[in-house]
Structure 1
Amino acid sequence: MSKKGTVYLVNAKGTNRYKIGYTNRPFEQRLTELSGGQSPFPLIATKTILVEDAQTIELGLHHKFTSFRKHGEWFEFDNRQLKEVIKTMDKATKQQGKKLSFLLMIAGLITLLCPLFFKQCQQPQQQPPAIQHQK
């Protein structure tokens, strides 16, 4: 079930580190919470979008920009990459309720399930016991 919420991009001031997250509460409350102990740097809101399915959009952004992930929900972007993140967030706002939400949901699910699948594939398969026929 989708929940309306805010997807946000916050910057650790003085760095190229950005957190992509979502909240179903007022964004200002979440920013205060993050600033209160989760970051050694002051946090600045770079972009926020109000969307119908905040968690799906957030997961899609995490998937799309996974190669820039540094730790958890923190990413490192140069100016060009930052513009691409903002453009993607704008696109999600304009296309919410259309195919983009579905595609981002699928991308998010793939991101979550791939590690489980590959772990399973790497485990040695046990051979079934040989069947012995009686004479």
Structure 2
Amino acid sequence: MSKKAENADLGSPQVERFFKTDTVYLIHAKGTIRYKIGYTNRPFEQRLAELSSGQSPYPLIAIKTILVEDAHTIELGLHHKFSSFRYYGEWFEFTNHQLKEVCKAMDKATRHQGRGLSFLLMIAGLITLLCPLFLKQCQQPQFKATPAIQRTK
């Protein structure tokens, strides 16, 4: 579990997925215009070695990696954004201009970290911590209630 998730004490698997940082990567099949957009929760070097050992007839070169929360969602977003350039599966064919756009989109994804669900979970954690203090204060009567006086005819 990451330090953020431990500190937030919100350890459910669904919440942990959003706190965990994984790698989104862009690799190039040397000698082609083909690029793979993927993600891994293992060390990137291990994933690159795995892809290079028999899964590609071309030498693979890392172009860009980013360490992000909820990497799978970011990877899917990149796949969707650049779907018109999809060659097959997670492989795309990019010109130099399109490649720059992919790198910009990856940079943008790193700049937006902490603004989405992580930020909301931090706020929820603060509310959880502060709420008992406010509730305790709200439960203390500000005035004493007196029984209603009944009128007699």
Q: TM-score, normalised by structure 1?
A: 0.71
The alignment status of 1:34 with 2:51, answered yes or no, reads yes
- Which residues of 2 match residues 1-135 of structure 1 at below 5 A? 1=14, 2=17, 3-99=20-116
Classify 1:100/1:46 alpha carbon distance in 2 versus 1 (closer, same or farther; 3 Å).
Answer: farther
Following TM superposition, the consecutive aligned residue runs of length 4 or more in structure 1 with deviations greater than 3 angstroms are none
One-letter code aligned to 2:61: I
Between the aligned partners of 1:42 and 1:91, the Cα distance in structure 2 is 28
Between the aligned partners of 2:68 and 2:32, the Cα distance in structure 1 is 27
Between the aligned partners of 1:64 and 1:71, the Cα distance in structure 2 is 15
**Identity among equivalent pairs (%):** 77
Between the aligned partners of 1:8 and 1:59, the Cα distance in structure 2 is 12
Give deviations 1:17-72, integer Å, cap 9, x for gaps.
00000000000000000000111000000000000111010000000000000000
Deviation at 1:100, TM superposition (A): 9.6
Bigger radius of gyration among the two? 2
Q: Which residue is equivalent to 1:125?
A: none
Between the aligned partners of 2:55 and 2:84, the Cα distance in structure 1 is 23
Between the aligned partners of 1:73 and 1:97, the Cα distance in structure 2 is 26
One-letter code aligned to 1:74: W
Classify 1:60/1:9 alpha carbon distance in 2 versus 1 (closer, same or farther; 3 Å).
Answer: same
Between the aligned partners of 1:30 and 1:85, the Cα distance in structure 2 is 20
Aligned CA RMSD, in angstroms, stands at 1.5
Would you say the 8 A contact 1:68–1:75 is kept in 2? yes
Q: Give aligned pairs, total.
A: 101
- Unaligned runs of 5+ residues in structure 2 are 1-13, 119-153
